A and B are shown apart, each in its own frame.
Chain A
Amino acid sequence: MARVRLKNLTKHFGDVVAVDNVTLDIADREFLTLLGPSGCGKTTLLNMIAGLESPTAGEVWFDDRNVTAVPPERRDIAMVFQTYALYPHMSVFDNVAFGLKMRGVPAEDRKRLVLAASKTMEIEHLLDRKPRALSGGQRQRVALARAIVRDPGVFLLDEPLSNLDAQLRVVMRTELKRLHGELEMTFVYVTHDQAESLILADRIVVMQDGQIQQIGTPESIYDCPANTFVAGFVGSPPINLLRGTLEQSAEGAWRVVGEGYACGVPVSMIERMKPPEGREVFLGVRAEDIGIGEATSSIEPDAAAGNFDPTGVRAKVVVREPMGSDLYLTVDVGGTNVKVRTRPENLLDRGDNVGLYFDPGKIHLFNGESGESLISES
């Protein structure tokens, strides 16, 4: 049981700033994922929680204990590595028992604990084998057993599923979620897979260039991304971003107008909006929030000033990608490619012109320069 607090944590490697002034409070028994592209500093951050890297500045606290200077062997942690890092010269039993042995647990108790952990991870039949005789999925289970056997306060996982094939990854993902429910430990989980993050986490920390971009529940990260980076990184396919200008009509209604499209902005959103510095914005809209209207004969803009459909989007289909349960269309809107999710029955194909509809309640508006969200979270 442990609450982990990071205070202004910074790590430099020579001139490279890997982690830049990160402050984070991880609740006891929380499942927190650190999400970001490779090189964003998430693994370095995890290593600093583990004590495997010492911070250039800042502090790490476990509950009321400042552990910044405590070496990993004296922190109450367990870790699962991307490469599994099983000891190749030891049997599965010895691998799982190693941490207990190092901590002076008597042989009798060791055996009991190893058997219990093996049962949880369903590897009882593998205990006599050497790691090289195991499949990827089995190795992963052994690595997890080795971590849970010590009943640590904090459980650190560094991209544990990325070496598994797609099918096994789905199985182990479920397994991890079950494990977290049973074990009541604090999980800190590093991944670059946004789907994994959305599925597993209580809270997600999105990182880029060593800095935290956003912290929030999967829902809030998905529905209210703090900037264009988070919006583009979380969600599959990535959110569509279109350049546009924020305008107010004579009647007082707001809309965003850009190349080939216009989209109304609901009043409720305007009320929550931070005053934009300029009128230039990015309009973000996810593939599932775009409706498909009638096929049209041309995409010539007829939205002359004062005479426009407030939600009209004119597009031409570029690529048709059937995905079984869904159909993804890539369409051209004023020179920008936009992904649209629709039903597989849809017959639109390459070259067809089509009218689209952005769901005004689901759009996102970002500052046209900084990329920060214009909508304050409510």
Chain B
Amino acid sequence: MWRRASLYIYALAAVIYLTLPFAWVAAVSFMPEREVTQQRWWPEEPTIGNYSLYFDVEGQSADVGAAIARQFPRAIVNSLIIGTAVMLLNLTCGSLAAYALARLPFRGNLLLLLFYLGSRSVPGVAIMIPMYLLMRSYGLLDTHLSVILSHTTFTLPFTIWILKGYFQTVPLDLERAARVDGCTPLGALVRVFLPVTTPGLVAVGIFAFIASWGEFLFALLFTTTIASRPVTVLASDFAQELQVPFTVIAAGGVLVILLPLVLSFLFQRLIIQGIGGSVTG
């Protein structure tokens, strides 16, 4: 009984610890500017005025930070393009690699897996300059592709590891049954294996998307204009402009968080199944 209660207390503490900063940002985004200086926890006169800057399509506003805020929709589209491409690359390359590692015995497969894992331990800063030179020499600076490629390099190893483990829980007999039922090897993969592993694929796809969405270092390094700039980098521009109201910055923060949050809630069940579950025939 006491054990159970302490478990709940611990879980509750963790939830508060994790959500409090977000909750406060969300609360601030609905406050009039003067309420922030009064150190309020909750908006007393809630307003959506802070958000209006971000949807000021005609560009009328001359408020501080308005120039940056006006670029937000475009930056969100950039982030969406980059995140979706990273997700698709992870799913196609990742599932094929993981399938091979899970199903086909070949020389050096363990070494390859360890290499993937090892590549995760290299800090981004360490390869920042070589990466920059590489992108410059291929003429990829300030393109979506440069950010997509760099994000894929650090999300793919994780994807392969998770998917390999997940694929190994699929009974081999399922594919064999599909073969006997008349499928070609590729047909068995498409009609039986992939549908069965949907939770795992959705989970790693969303992880890859969110990782890309939240990445800052490489995105900052490779992008210079709004043509390719993702929303995380744009949001940091507020720091360079003096006296942007904190409430406006908070509204921007909420807009950045919103999409990954919605995705996580929508696919919650599949993500949990994909990471913690297994497939049984």
- Residues of A whose CB lies within 8 Å of any CB of B are 47, 50-52, 71-73, 77-79, 81-89, 98-99, 102-103, 131-132, 146
Known: A88-B279, A89-B195. A71 touches B184 (CB 8 A): yes
Known: A88-B196, A89-B195, A102-B187. A83 touches B181 (CB 8 A): no
- Residues of B whose CB lies within 8 Å of any CB of A are 171, 173-174, 176-184, 187, 192, 195-196, 198, 279-281
- Complex contact B281–A86 (CB within 8 A): yes
Per the bound structure, the CA–CA distance linking A82 and B176 in Å amounts to 12
Per the bound structure, the CA–CA distance linking A211 and B196 in Å amounts to 37
User: Who on chain A is nearest to B175 by CB?
Assistant: A85
User: Who on chain A is nearest to B185 by CB?
Assistant: A71
- Complex contact A85–B182 (CB within 8 A): no
Per the bound structure, the CA–CA distance linking A78 and B281 in Å amounts to 17
Known: A88-B196, A89-B195, A131-B281. A52 touches B176 (CB 8 A): yes
Per the bound structure, the CA–CA distance linking A68 and B280 in Å amounts to 31
Per the bound structure, the CA–CA distance linking A89 and B171 in Å amounts to 14
| A75 CB to nearest chain B CB (Å) | 8
- Complex contact B182–A103 (CB within 8 A): yes
- Complex contact B180–A83 (CB within 8 A): no
- Complex contact B179–A87 (CB within 8 A): no
Our pick among A51, A71, A98, A131 for the contact of B181 (Cβ within 8 Å) is: A98
Interface of B is mostly: helix
- Could you say which residues of chain B place their CB within 8 Å of the CB of A85? 171, 173-174, 176-177, 281
What number of residue pairs across chains A and B have CB atoms under 8 A from each other? Answer: 68
| A36 CB to nearest chain B CB (Å) | 20
- Could you say which residues of chain B place their CB within 8 Å of the CB of A99? 180-182
- Could you say which residues of chain A place their CB within 8 Å of the CB of B174? 85, 87
| A11 CB to nearest chain B CB (Å) | 16
| B68 CB to nearest chain A CB (Å) | 47
Our pick among A72, A88, A89 for the contact of B180 (Cβ within 8 Å) is: A72
| B119 CB to nearest chain A CB (Å) | 31
- Complex contact A79–B182 (CB within 8 A): no
- Complex contact B182–A81 (CB within 8 A): no
Per the bound structure, the CA–CA distance linking A99 and B195 in Å amounts to 17
Known: A72-B180, A79-B180. A88 touches B281 (CB 8 A): yes
- Complex contact A73–B180 (CB within 8 A): yes
| B188 CB to nearest chain A CB (Å) | 9
- Could you say which residues of chain A place their CB within 8 Å of the CB of B279? 88
- Could you say which residues of chain A place their CB within 8 Å of the CB of B176? 47, 50, 52, 72, 79, 81, 85
- Complex contact B177–A87 (CB within 8 A): yes
User: Who on chain A is nearest to B197 by CB?
Assistant: A89
User: Who on chain B is nearest to A86 by CB?
Assistant: B281
- Could you say which residues of chain A place their CB within 8 Å of the CB of B195? 89
- Could you say which residues of chain B place their CB within 8 Å of the CB of A102? 181-183, 187
| A355 CB to nearest chain B CB (Å) | 54
- Complex contact B173–A81 (CB within 8 A): yes
| A161 CB to nearest chain B CB (Å) | 15
| B175 CB to nearest chain A CB (Å) | 9
Instruction: Give me 12 A-to-B residue pairs in the complex whose CB atoms sit less than 8 angstroms apart, sorted by A's number.
Output: A50-B180, A73-B181, A79-B176, A79-B177, A81-B176, A83-B281, A85-B177, A85-B281, A88-B281, A99-B181, A102-B183, A102-B187
Per the bound structure, the CA–CA distance linking A244 and B180 in Å amounts to 51
- Could you say which residues of chain A place their CB within 8 Å of the CB of B173? 81-83, 85
Per the bound structure, the CA–CA distance linking A131 and B281 in Å amounts to 8
| B277 CB to nearest chain A CB (Å) | 12
- Complex contact B179–A73 (CB within 8 A): yes
- Could you say which residues of chain A place their CB within 8 Å of the CB of B281? 81, 83-88, 131
Our pick among B180, B198, B280 for the contact of A77 (Cβ within 8 Å) is: B180
- Could you say which residues of chain A place their CB within 8 Å of the CB of B178? 87, 98
User: Who on chain B is nearest to A149 by CB?
Assistant: B181
| B173 CB to nearest chain A CB (Å) | 4
- Could you say which residues of chain B place their CB within 8 Å of the CB of A84? 281
Per the bound structure, the CA–CA distance linking A52 and B185 in Å amounts to 11
- Complex contact B181–A89 (CB within 8 A): no
- Complex contact A89–B196 (CB within 8 A): yes
| B193 CB to nearest chain A CB (Å) | 10
